[in-house]
Structure formats: structure tokens, C-alpha cells
Copies of this chain bind each other. A is one copy, B any other.
Amino acid sequence: MPKPSLRDALLDAGFDLLHAGGYAATGVAAIAAAAEAPKGSFYNHFPSKEALAIEALNRYAASRRLDMLAEPGVAPLQRIRNHIDHLHADLAAYGYRRGCMFGNFAAESPSAAPEVTAAASAALARWCALLAGAIRDGQQAGEIVSGLDAGAAAQLIVDAWEGAALRAKADGDGTPIDNVTAMIFDRILSVR
């Protein structure tokens, strides 16, 4: 039976390389080398690069702290602010150069790794749904304008965040994230 620690090392290395470099650009050999594992050992632990990428995406999704959007005892608008602040800090921690793994994977060719594309799409859809819930809670609490379609607004926020993350990544600069954050609250949710 393979040692759990080698599997963890492959997943850790794969997570970092896939996040920084993208799916197509990251090979199994590079992942094994970064994990200091023999290349042949990769397939003792993962059936395919695609399988590792989906585990990495799930780990990334868990680190998005979507639970913040439904956190008990916190006012809805503050939940959204806390969540956005968390995402911003995470992008900034890598100088914006890694971008959002959801968007990175969604931007790559769907035909190269259809299960990875589908997992990224599902992660974005789940994010939209939880954000829509927080917006609806904010509307019921009188914090967010009532005439807004919460589902449509949540999609707009997620899309705008992903686009800003792309521009921030390309430039290695957080200005697009500052802009989208201000516009989410000032313009889309009209709360400032």
C-alpha cells in the first residue's frame, strides 16, 4: 500500500503547480519532481492528472470559505464583505499572479479535460447560489435594495470577480480587484 505522505506531497505539489501554471502547462513529471517522488509513482496514487486536478480544485473550493456567506450571527452584508475580503487577501498573498483556480480552469480548453472543466463550472455555480442566498438575506434584512434579482446579481458579482482576477493576474497588480470590490458594493448592491 502506498505511503499516505507521498500522496499528500503529490497533491500539495500538484495544487501549487496547477494553480500557478494552469492545467495544460503542468505535466505529471513536473508534479512528481516537485514532490520529490519518482515519476512512475504518480499513478500509484492518482489514476490521472485530471483526477489530481479535481482533488486540487476541491481543496481550493474548500479554502474559498463559502461558509462565510451563510455564517450564523453575522449580518448578511457583513458576510459578503468578509467573504470578499478573504478572497482578496488570498489573491494578494501570491501577488495576484495565480488568479482564481476556478476561472483559470474554466478558461482552459473544455475538450482537454472535460471533467476538470465541469468541476470548475460546478464550483462557480455553487458560489453563485450561496452568494445569491446572502444577497436575499440582505434584502430581507433591509441592507440591500429590494428591487434587485439576487440570482442575477450574484452571477454578475462572480463574473466580475473572475474577470478582475484575470486582469490582476496578467498585470501582477491588485487595482482591478480594488475596482471590482468598490463596484460590487457601490453599484451592484448599492449599499455604500
Binding site for B on A (CB under 8 A): 20-22, 24-25, 97, 99, 103-104, 106-112, 117-118, 120-121, 124, 148, 152-153, 155-156, 158-164, 166-167, 169-172, 176, 179-180, 182-183, 187-188
Q: Is the CB of A183 within 8 A of B107?
A: no
Q: Is the CB of B166 within 8 A of A180?
A: no
Q: Is the interface of A mostly helix, strand, loop or mixed?
A: helix
Q: Give A176 to B153 CA distance when docked, in angstroms.
A: 12
> A134: shortest Cβ distance to chain B, in Å?
17
Q: Give A61 to B111 CA distance when docked, in angstroms.
A: 24
Please tell me how many copies of the chain the complex holds: 2
Q: Give A180 to B153 CA distance when docked, in angstroms.
A: 9
> A138: shortest Cβ distance to chain B, in Å?
16
Please, which residues of chain B bring their CB within 8 A of the CB of A176?
155, 159
Q: Is the CB of B109 within 8 A of A103?
A: no
- 19 chain-A/chain-B pairs, Cβ below 8 angstroms: A22-B108, A22-B112, A25-B109, A103-B107, A104-B108, A110-B170, A121-B167, A148-B187, A152-B182, A156-B160, A156-B179, A159-B160, A159-B162, A159-B164, A159-B176, A159-B179, A162-B163, A187-B187, A187-B188
- On whether A107 and B166 interact (CB within 8 A), knowing A148-B187, A187-B187, the answer reads yes
Q: Give A55 to B154 CA distance when docked, in angstroms.
A: 36
Please, which residues of chain B bring their CB within 8 A of the CB of A118?
170
Q: Is the CB of B187 within 8 A of A106?
A: no
Q: Is the CB of A172 within 8 A of B110?
A: yes
Please, which residues of chain B bring their CB within 8 A of the CB of A148?
187
Please, which residues of chain B bring their CB within 8 A of the CB of A159?
159-164, 166-167, 176, 179-180
